[in-house]
Structure 1
């Protein structure tokens, strides 16, 4: 996209940059805590993919719904969920966003219409279609945005959800964040197509494909799909090409890719690109450094909050298992 020119455009980019930077610093703190044994279970970081989540979610309205994957930290932060509650959830604490019951893969906040964090690969796509169906049934004007990886595009639920969305013209935008590796499997070994969005042709729905290294470009393209869905013109399947700078999860050393490949993709780091655009638009390096320091303090406060929070009582193991007061 062209360089931001007006004050409004540069302030807009600064806010998007702030969100991406918050995600980056939050994930770095999560990695550190995990390495120290303070976070258990699985932990999938969003480092490198920030422009996709921030750009896409910034195209939504408050009434819209978001359905995420097990790599949900960045999506949750972009939606405005409280970093303290998210970090406490990673720590398994009582003050977590779901009271320590979900952990890294199951962030959820009904008040923000953030409908999970889902650990089953691809299984959430049909759930997203169901949410979009509910919006159409209620005629509430809401759109559902569903994220998934290219590995999930081979799961039956992906095709089932897409077929129903097409038949019923559901207000659903499906975003495939193609980071080119399904765990350690490169896309060319598992996908029959080079661009997941071409699978939309089989279901006669709209499609789009873009690179995910420029946050404003992502927002612009997703906004088109969201507005199409809101007008009642049906779903869109998008592939946004991106790259994760860390392994699939914290337990993955990512030895299946070369250092040269990683460094090549780091040259297109979405944060570096946004920072350059801001500097070229008149923002001073000192201002951006101060912003980073403010965010770091915010993240440090979140870690401190998580560490000082109480563990959930043992009896909570049985909460939310069966319906109560039926």
Structure 2
């Protein structure tokens, strides 16, 4: 697969933007950012590789680990940080926080604190696209642990039955919270379950952004053309714990270090493009500077923004009647 320079730079920008966002969240957590936070560090190639094939009008659903999906879909850094800061200028006016981050303006239907909570939302959204004769595709991100929930099988079964334009993307990082996937899942490749529903299933190296991009491109194009749903499994790894503050007693430090040193998706991407010389070092450095400037601006914006008042808590609880 050959990608032009602009696309390569865009992929690097998106992966590094996610990484630096998450590193900043880690730094600010417990201070300006409070509440649960589940970082996406180490999995950036999945969200980037998939969302690089989506249109702005396409839709995604997420998990409790949703920052990466939100940013890869094109979310505004200012509004994303403000949301995590609990500020009125955030995407959800500070009411949602990390685990309920949503960005409807770019088609991100929301992170979800319920394991397996996105399957039926994504399937319903795909049914809507079909009923309205739209060409939009829906992507449902989920983890390996969620693949063992009933909602997974219910949703995939209906999507297959109705030939819906939805791609279920499993981010198999090997750990369902604190449980090794080999101890909880009867199949090695979760995408193999696609055969039980008569749909396509592909398993790829989730830390190789080119592999993810290529597989997602094929499946998304097919869904957009009316060929129905599919399961894409990306084998990846989360470098941080399940949540910020996780003592990580369930895995060894050497296991984590091995992935950091030898399987970092961003470093693998940089090694690949440096080998071909398609992107110059000054262009790589320019992306880094651009992201740092955007991060500094977004953090300052979040810190300057106002905190909602207690009276604001009752806003947006009920739908407002449209003006006649």
TM tier, smaller:
over 0.9
Q: Does 1:309 align with 2:305?
A: yes
Counterpart secondary structure, 1:15: helix
Match of 1:272 in 2: 267
Q: Does 1:296 align with 2:317?
A: no
What is the CA–CA distance in structure 2 between the aligned matches of 1:221 and 1:200, rounded to whole Å? 15
What is the CA–CA distance in structure 1 between the aligned matches of 2:283 and 2:131, rounded to whole Å? 48
Match of 2:175 in 1: 181
Q: Does 1:25 align with 2:25?
A: no
Residues 64 and 143, structure 1, Cα contact 8 Å, conserved in 2: yes
* Structure 1: runs of 5+ lacking an equivalent: none
Q: What aligned pairs does 1:1-326 form with structure 2 within 5 A after superposition? A: 9-35=4-30, 37-266=31-260, 267-282=262-277, 283-325=279-321
What is the CA–CA distance in structure 1 between the aligned matches of 2:289 and 2:119, rounded to whole Å? 38
Residues 180 and 243, structure 1, Cα contact 8 Å, conserved in 2: yes
Counterpart secondary structure, 2:98: coil
**Alpha-carbon displacement from aligned partner over 1:25-64 (angstroms, at most 9, x marks no partner):** 11000000004x2111110111000000000001112221
Shift of 1:263: 2.0
Counterpart secondary structure, 1:145: strand
Shift of 1:113: 1.3
Corresponding pairs, count: 320
What is the CA–CA distance in structure 2 between the aligned matches of 1:210 and 1:119, rounded to whole Å? 26
Counterpart secondary structure, 1:210: strand
Shift of 1:261: 1.1
- TM-score, length basis structure 1: 0.94
Shift of 1:301: 1.6
Residues 10 and 281, structure 1, Cα contact 8 Å, conserved in 2: no
**Alpha-carbon displacement from aligned partner over 1:146-174 (angstroms, at most 9, x marks no partner):** 10000100111111101100110111100
Shift of 1:234: 1.2
Residues 176 and 239, structure 1, Cα contact 8 Å, conserved in 2: yes
Residues 23 and 50, structure 1, Cα contact 8 Å, conserved in 2: yes
Residues 17 and 291, structure 2, Cα contact 8 Å, conserved in 1: yes
- TM-score, length basis structure 2: 0.95
Shift of 1:12: 1.6
Residues 13 and 274, structure 1, Cα contact 8 Å, conserved in 2: no
What is the CA–CA distance in structure 1 between the aligned matches of 2:280 and 2:224, rounded to whole Å? 39
**Alpha-carbon displacement from aligned partner over 1:205-258 (angstroms, at most 9, x marks no partner):** 111100111212211101111111112111101111000110011021323111
Residues 56 and 73, structure 2, Cα contact 8 Å, conserved in 1: no
Residues 14 and 278, structure 1, Cα contact 8 Å, conserved in 2: no
Give RMSD over aligned pairs: 1.4
Residues 81 and 302, structure 2, Cα contact 8 Å, conserved in 1: yes
Residues 38 and 243, structure 2, Cα contact 8 Å, conserved in 1: yes
